[in-house]
């Protein structure tokens, strides 16, 4: 960064030989520069003059490594620039060059201080150092009281001083000024020229482009250019004795460590992304909406699927495991099954004798009116065996179950459920057990109350009561056929085999196959598979909406990039690497998606709370995995769909980008 030995020894710092810059025009090309030879020594102040359109800016852009010659050689301190890659050129601009443009090219969202600090951020200067240096430079240029002002709040002359401070913050040893006074009034222009003069007096090489001879006459050397060729090159004054002031030239501030510098650049990119998002709030929110809806629906669908699956599985669990439910009829939903009277208690007894059966309970059922005192309620009457409660896993809130003797003696005993207790015995002091209720006209003694079961099939608000099946058959129905037989298969027996054996046994006993079997394992498997397929299906739709949302993000990011081409050009001119630009736009895309994703998750959780509040029969089950996946997914969408716009931005040509502002 310090003036290199070759330059100190008197060799020119900058050497152009036979430089051409041609632009495509129609079928052929037009040459903005047509064979320029020019050498500039370190510490010189050179004015490049010529009429409008003569190629001054083109020359300046090539000198500043914003543009490349189409032909010819450009050497800086002995190094051929044609051999340098974009990031090496960026490093040159960052470390050795400073630019002052006619239209200032300040970033409007940043304060004066922020604008001056920016190149130092890319150079990796520690934040405190660069702030101090930027403030000191602005102070030296008479801007100490304007550090927090944005460009829009500054006059043209003040803006140009900010841009000069920006050119110097990294300790540039060459300052390129393209018509620096072109947009300024006389006084401000005079001040800017004075500053450039002083810089040169301090040892900085200054190249100033102008069409104004009065401006040019301040230089020690005037290069005239016309139609892309140098027409005159004369020394009008002797060069000043060079003195390199401390603080000028080599960036005095020590660069921060590699990691600290990278983290610092990341922070800068993050800040810029937030500024850009804030500048287009409505657009950002609308862009986010797609991601919000996508993520919210994915999370909700997964939670709904899991919630309903658990609900159904717990229902099945309440049927008991390893149980077969034997019904009369050909198959599930057989309309004539009620007319099939062949399933009888003797079948249950025969099944109970099988070695692979752990328990059997016949059931009969009907509905009837229950009465106690003045209260009455219609209830489901279940006639069951004494093993029923064990097979089903029913538990008692109070009292006891009936036993085998009750079944044999057709005892008039009844176990009621929680719903029945509420309907008939809510106001009875001392509870329901021991009271008598009427089923139809027959009196029964309440011997137990079951605990409310968690979501079993038919665990609705309907009251149910349990009596010995013999009692129901003899005293209520007057028929001996059964509604079903529930078999609990021994643990070491395969339920499939047991099912076959049951069908065989009953077919032999009845002479024909007139029963069918519900196997809880089958039901569980079927339902699990069904909910999985459904969840997958709806999730696929949600993912499509996420992709649509992602394309929306990409679209807006492309717009954002093309809107901010000027900003990108400025950043590149002050030495941002391609990766810095890429990072800035990627961060913006990821931020939009990530914030959208987080809002989406919050929305989904809120939906779950509402769902629970309206008293639905099951709740949404959010898995940590699905939420983490949603966050990762939205980040990924940001990276994926932000990549193309960010790459477009980073591959912009600095000079083309600047020209479009």
List residues near ligand ADP by CB under 6 A. Answer: 23, 32, 50, 52-58
Cβ nearer to ligand ADP, comparing 56 with 488: 56
- Shortest reach from residue 629's CB to ligand ADP, in Å: 48
Answer with the entry of ligand ADP, Mg ion, none that 23 interacts with (C-beta below 5 to 8 A by kind). Answer: ligand ADP
CB-based closest residue to Mg ion: 57
Cβ nearer to Mg ion, comparing 84 with 659: 659
The upper half-sphere exposure of residue 43, i.e. CA atoms within 13 Å in the direction of its Cβ, equals 19
Answer with the entry of Mg ion, ligand ADP, none that 54 interacts with (C-beta below 5 to 8 A by kind). Answer: ligand ADP
Q: Contact at 8 Å (CB) between 657 and 604?
A: no
Answer with the entry of ligand ADP, Mg ion, none that 52 interacts with (C-beta below 5 to 8 A by kind). Answer: ligand ADP
- Shortest reach from residue 650's CB to Mg ion, in Å: 26
- Shortest reach from residue 102's CB to Mg ion, in Å: 7
- Shortest reach from residue 160's CB to ligand ADP, in Å: 18
Strand segments, DSSP code E, in 409-473 are 413-416, 436-439, 442-450, 464-468
Answer with the entry of Mg ion, ligand ADP, none that 468 interacts with (C-beta below 5 to 8 A by kind). Answer: none
Closest by Cα among 352, 355, 359 to 390: 359
DSSP SS3 for 190: helix
Backbone φ and ψ for 461, nearest 5 degrees, come out as -80, 0
Contacts with Mg ion, residue ranges (CB under 5 A): 57
Residues sharing a CB contact under 8 Å with residue 650, sequence separation 6 or more, in sequence order: 578, 579, 581, 582, 585
Rg (CA), the chain: 44
Answer with the entry of Mg ion, ligand ADP, none that 187 interacts with (C-beta below 5 to 8 A by kind). Answer: none
- Shortest reach from residue 52's CB to ligand ADP, in Å: 4
Task: Say which DSSP state 151 is in.
Answer: G
Q: Which residues pair with 324 in a beta bridge?
A: 487, 519
- Shortest reach from residue 46's CB to ligand ADP, in Å: 15
Answer with the entry of ligand ADP, Mg ion, none that 32 interacts with (C-beta below 5 to 8 A by kind). Answer: ligand ADP
CA distance 405 to 532: 47
- Shortest reach from residue 225's CB to Mg ion, in Å: 11
Cβ nearer to Mg ion, comparing 103 with 244: 103
Cβ nearer to Mg ion, comparing 57 with 471: 57
408-440 core/surface letters (b: 16 or more CB in 10 A; e: else): eebbbbbbbbbbbbebbbeeeeeebbebebebe
DSSP SS3 for 238: coil
Q: Is 116 exposed, middle or buried (CB count within 10 Å of its CB: 0-12, 13-18, 19+)?
A: buried
Widest CA span in the chain: 132
Cβ nearer to ligand ADP, comparing 63 with 487: 63
Cβ nearer to ligand ADP, comparing 197 with 653: 653
Cβ nearer to ligand ADP, comparing 175 with 485: 175
Cβ nearer to ligand ADP, comparing 57 with 535: 57
Q: Contact at 8 Å (CB) between 177 and 207?
A: yes
- Shortest reach from residue 49's CB to ligand ADP, in Å: 9
Q: Contact at 8 Å (CB) between 436 and 443?
A: yes
Closest by Cα among 173, 191, 188 to 45: 173
Task: Give 134-157 as a DSSP string.
Answer: HHHHHHHTT-GGGTT--GGGS-HH
CA angle, 193 as apex, 187 and 199 as ends, to 5°?
140
Answer with the entry of Mg ion, ligand ADP, none that 50 interacts with (C-beta below 5 to 8 A by kind). Answer: ligand ADP
Answer with the entry of Mg ion, ligand ADP, none that 373 interacts with (C-beta below 5 to 8 A by kind). Answer: none
CA distance 41 to 58: 20
Cβ nearer to Mg ion, comparing 65 with 304: 65
Cβ nearer to Mg ion, comparing 229 with 539: 229
- Shortest reach from residue 37's CB to Mg ion, in Å: 21
- Shortest reach from residue 177's CB to Mg ion, in Å: 12
Q: Contact at 8 Å (CB) between 613 and 620?
A: no
Q: Contact at 8 Å (CB) between 69 and 147?
A: no
Closest by Cα among 87, 97, 121 to 107: 121
539-552 core/surface letters (b: 16 or more CB in 10 A; e: else): beebeebbeebbeb
Answer with the entry of Mg ion, ligand ADP, none that 584 interacts with (C-beta below 5 to 8 A by kind). Answer: none
Cβ nearer to ligand ADP, comparing 56 with 166: 56
CA distance 398 to 382: 19
Answer with the entry of Mg ion, ligand ADP, none that 157 interacts with (C-beta below 5 to 8 A by kind). Answer: none
CA distance 656 to 583: 20
CA distance 409 to 485: 20
CA angle, 602 as apex, 282 and 311 as ends, to 5°?
140
- Shortest reach from residue 179's CB to Mg ion, in Å: 6
Answer with the entry of Mg ion, ligand ADP, none that 577 interacts with (C-beta below 5 to 8 A by kind). Answer: none
Cβ nearer to ligand ADP, comparing 226 with 354: 226
Backbone φ and ψ for 203, nearest 5 degrees, come out as 110, 0
CA 28 to chain centre: 49
- Shortest reach from residue 216's CB to ligand ADP, in Å: 13
- Shortest reach from residue 226's CB to ligand ADP, in Å: 9
Neighbours of 128 (CB within 10 A): 10
Cβ nearer to Mg ion, comparing 59 with 446: 59
Answer with the entry of Mg ion, ligand ADP, none that 572 interacts with (C-beta below 5 to 8 A by kind). Answer: none
Q: Contact at 8 Å (CB) between 413 and 447?
A: yes
Cβ nearer to ligand ADP, comparing 32 with 633: 32
- Shortest reach from residue 585's CB to Mg ion, in Å: 29
């Amino acid at each position: 960064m310090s003036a290199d030995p070759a330059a100190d020894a008197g060799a020119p710092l900058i050497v152009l030989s036979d430089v051409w810059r041609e632009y495509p025009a129609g079928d052929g090309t037009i040459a903005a520069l047509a064979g320029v030879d020019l050498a500039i020594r370190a510490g010189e102040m050179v004015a490049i003059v010529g009429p409008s359109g003569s190629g001054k800016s083109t020359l300046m852009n090539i000198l500043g490594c914003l543009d490349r010659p189409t032909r010819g050689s450009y050497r800086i301190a002995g190094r051929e620039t044609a051999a340098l890659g974009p990031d090496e050129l960026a490093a040159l601009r960052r470390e050795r060059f400073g630019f002052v443009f006619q239209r200032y090219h300040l970033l409007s969202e940043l304060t004066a201080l922020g604008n001056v600090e920016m190149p130092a951020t890319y150079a990796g200067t520690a934040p405190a150092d660069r702030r101090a240096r930027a403030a000191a430079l602005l102070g030296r240029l008479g801007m100490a009281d304007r550090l927090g002002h944005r460009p829009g709040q500054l006059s043209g002359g003040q803006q140009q001083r900010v841009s000069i401070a920006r050119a110097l913050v990294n300790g540039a040893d060459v300052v390129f000024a393209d018509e620096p006074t072109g947009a300024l009034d006389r006084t401000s222009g005079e001040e800017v020229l004075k500053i450039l003069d002083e810089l040169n007096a301090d040892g900085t090489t200054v190249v100033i482009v102008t069409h104004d001879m009065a401006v040019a006459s301040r230089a020690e050397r005037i290069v005239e250019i016309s139609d892309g060729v140098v027409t005159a090159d004369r020394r009008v004054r002797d060069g000043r004795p060079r003195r390199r002031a401390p603080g000028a030239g080599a960036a005095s501030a020590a660069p921060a460590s590699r990691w600290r510098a990278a983290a610092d650049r990341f922070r800068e990119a993050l800040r810029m992304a937030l500024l850009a998002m804030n500048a287009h709030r409505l657009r950002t929110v609308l862009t986010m909406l797609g991601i919000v809806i996508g993520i919210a629906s994915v999370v909700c669908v997964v939670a709904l699927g899991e919630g309903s699956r658990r609900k159904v599985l717990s229902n099945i669990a309440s049927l008991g495991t390893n149980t077969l439910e034997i019904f009369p009829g050909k198959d599930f939903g057989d309309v004539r099954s009620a007319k099939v009277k062949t399933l009888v208690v003797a079948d249950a007894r025969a099944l109970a004798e099988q070695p692979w059966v752990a328990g059997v309970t016949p059931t009969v059922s009907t509905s009837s009116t229950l009465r106690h005192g003045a209260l009455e309620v219609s209830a489901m009457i279940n006639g069951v065996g004494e093993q029923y409660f064990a097979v089903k896993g029913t538990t008692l809130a109070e009292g006891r179950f009936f036993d085998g003797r009750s079944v044999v003696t057709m005892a008039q005993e009844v176990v009621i459920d929680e719903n029945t207790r509420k309907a008939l015995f809510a106001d009875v002091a001392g509870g329901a057990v021991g009271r008598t209720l009427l089923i139809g006209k027959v009196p029964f003694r309440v011997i137990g109350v079951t605990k409310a079961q968690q979501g079993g099939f038919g665990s609705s608000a309907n009251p149910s009561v349990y009596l010995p099946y013999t009692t129901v058959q003899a005293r209520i129905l007057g028929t001996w056929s059964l509604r079903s037989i529930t078999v609990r298969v021994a643990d070491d027996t395969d339920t499939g085999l047991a099912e076959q054996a049951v069908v065989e046994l009953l077919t032999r006993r009845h002479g024909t196959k007139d029963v069918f079997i519900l196997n809880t394992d089958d039901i569980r498997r079927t339902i699990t598979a069904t909910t999985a397929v459904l969840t997958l299906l709806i999730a696929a739709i949600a993912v499509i909406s996420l992709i649509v949302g992602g394309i929306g993000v990409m679209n807006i990011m492309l717009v954002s990039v093309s809107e901010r081409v000027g900003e990108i050009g400025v950043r590149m001119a002050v030495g941002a690497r391609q990766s810095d630009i890429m990072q800035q736009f990627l961060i913006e895309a990821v931020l939009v998606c990530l914030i959208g994703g987080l809002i989406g998750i919050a929305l989904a959780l809120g939906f779950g709370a509402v769902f629970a509040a309206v008293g639905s029969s099951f709740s949404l089950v959010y898995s940590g995995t699905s939420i983490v996946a949603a966050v990762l997914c939205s980040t990924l969408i940001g990276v994926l769909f932000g990549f193309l716009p960010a790459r477009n931005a980073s591959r912009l040509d600095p000079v083309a980008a600047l020209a479009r502002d």
